[in-house]
Amino acid sequence: MKNYLKWEQTLFRDREVFDSGYVPEVFLYREAQMKSIGYAIAPGIEGKQPQNIVCVGPPGTGKTTSFKKIIDQAEQISPSNLILAFINCRYTQTHFSVLAEIYKKMTGIEPPTSGITLKKVYEKIAQTLVTKRKSMFVILDDADFLISRKIYDDIVNNFLRLHEEYPISIGLSTVHSTQCPLLDDGLSSVFIPAVIKFPSYSWDETFDILNTRVKIGLYPNVVKNEIIEKITDYAVSKGDIRFGIDLLKRSVISAEKRASTIAEFIDVDNALIEASNERMKRYLKVFTDSETALLSLASDMGTSQAGDLFCAFSKRTRKGYTTFHKSLNKLVNAKLVDSCIENRGKNGRTRIITAKQPSTC
């Protein structure tokens, strides 16, 4: 094998292939979903009514990527009577900002931010469609955030009722990573979406997706199959392919740092520790002092009975059981510690707390 470090100083053929915003050219195992999304949007290209859809699947199952690819394709079609508005609701926090972003996508300008009602912005959107003689398809990605802010029903309802007042065609897709939204009676009379499911990738599928990235992004033989298999194990147990892509990138960077032309298992271990440390740093920014103290104690004790952990916690923080209980739940939800109940003979049941190792959290 050539010594790539010498002449290229890098093992990456194309580092961007491992970036979070990268849209893969080879998009495996999502043919059926892409077809269904395309089928829903296609009528809009001729100015007709697109079909409403709901896309649902766990994190990292290719929902956003599917839309990015379809939007890319749709934008190549000319002439087209369709306006596509993709909104990431994770960052678009309010009813007004969702509308403002849609309006900006349609016209290139933002609506005034003060002295204008929501109703007025809806009117402006509808009037723009009438004037431009276009239909529209709105994609509300990460729409779980709209549900938790309790504005999902209003937005969906208002959009889908616009055609009652204006001669326009609007289709809507909402995208969810938890579960299908529960539509109340009022909403389900206007919103009857086709549901497109994005199931988790199997081990073999995950391996193929990671292997494809390796082939496109790295020079030959930098990462052997056994390393991809190991990273596949971690990605599958984590349930998110992003974790696998990130581990691949970090492992190769670790190999580069060792001035090696091949990533070894030690590089995967380094990558895991680094990924875990970064995650921990992100958590520590949002954790309270009590939660941080509890995490540190749980890590020191490894596996402990909840009672013993509480004693150590109250000794260190002088906080009571309520704070302990709340903090512990937060750590369990963040998957930094495991909690399970063990039956211990006639002494009854005991809660056992186990701090997770970097590779598993």
**Residue ranges in contact with ligand ATP by CB under 6 A:** 20, 22, 24, 27-30, 57, 59-65, 142, 177, 198, 209, 241-242, 245
- Can you list the alpha helix ranges (DSSP code H) found in 77-202? 95-107, 118-132, 144-148, 152-165, 185-188
For Mg ion, the closer CB: 64 or 270: 64
283 binds, among ligand ATP, Mg ion, none (CB under 5 to 8 A by kind): none
From the list ligand ATP, Mg ion, none, pick the one residue 24 interacts with, judged by a Cβ distance below 5 to 8 Å according to partner type.
Answer: ligand ATP
Can you state the angle between helices 289-301 and 306-317, rounded to 10 degrees? 130
Q: Which lies closer to ligand ATP via its Cβ, residue 177 or residue 317?
A: 177
Minimum gap (Å) between residue 260 Cβ and ligand ATP: 26
Q: Output 64 or 251, the one with its CB closest to Mg ion.
A: 64
Tokens of 197: 């499911």
Q: What tokens does 115 get?
A: 């002295």
* Cα 2 to Cα 218: distance, rounded to the nearest angstrom: 13
Least Å distance, CB 63 to ligand ATP, is 4
Q: In this structure, what token pair is assigned to residue 266?
A: 């030690």
Q: Compare residues 24 and 38 and give the one whose CB is closer to ligand ATP.
A: 24
Peptide bond before residue 167 is cis, with ω within 30 degrees of 0: no
Alpha-carbon distance 196 to 180, whole Å? Answer: 10
Nearest-angstrom CA–CA distance, 107 and 230: 49
Find the shortest distance in angstroms from Cβ 141 to Mg ion: 6
φ, ψ of residue 174 to 5 degrees: the values are -110, 140
* Contact yes or no for 153/68 (Cβ under 8 A): no
Q: Smallest distance, Å, CB 127 to ligand ATP?
A: 33
Q: How far is the CB of 195 from Mg ion (least distance, A)?
A: 17
In the complex, the smallest distance separating the C-beta of residue 170 from ligand ATP, rounded to whole angstroms, is 23
Which residue's CB is nearer to Mg ion, number 63 or number 249? 63
Binding partner of residue 60 among Mg ion, ligand ATP, none, CB cut-off 5 to 8 Å per kind: ligand ATP
- Contact residues toward Mg ion (CB under 5 A) are 63-64
Beta carbon of residue 67, minimum distance to Mg ion (angstroms, whole number):
8
The residue (of 28 and 130) whose beta carbon lies closer to ligand ATP is 28
Contacts for 344 with CB less than 8 Å, ≥ 6 apart: 350
CB of 55 to ligand ATP, least distance (A): 8
Partner from ligand ATP, Mg ion, none contacting 193, C-beta within 5 to 8 A by type: none
Q: Would you say the C-alpha torsion 92, 94, 98, 104 has a positive or negative sign?
A: negative
Among Mg ion, ligand ATP, none, the one that 241 touches (CB under a kind-dependent 5 to 8 A) is ligand ATP
Amino acid at 254: S
List the single partner that 242 binds among Mg ion, ligand ATP, none, CB under 5 to 8 Å by kind. ligand ATP
Nearer Cβ to ligand ATP (121/210): 210
The residue assigned the tokens 């723009």 is 128
Q: Which does 358 bind (CB under 5 to 8 A by kind): Mg ion, ligand ATP, none?
A: none
Pick one of ligand ATP, Mg ion, none as the site partner of residue 245 (Cβ within 5 to 8 A by kind): ligand ATP
Q: Name the residue with tokens 């087209």.
A: 80
Which of 251, 238, 249, 282 has its CA nearest to residue 59? Answer: 238
**Least separation, in Å, of the C-beta of 224 and Mg ion?**
31
Q: Mark out the alpha helices in 133-240 (DSSP H runs).
A: 144-148, 152-165, 185-188, 203-217, 225-238
Q: What residue is closest to Mg ion based on CB?
A: 64
Q: Is the dihedral of CA 155, 174, 242, 69 positive or negative?
A: negative
DSSP state of 210: H
Which partner in Mg ion, ligand ATP, none is near 251 (CB below 5 to 8 A by kind)?
Answer: none
Single-letter code of the amino acid located at 85: A
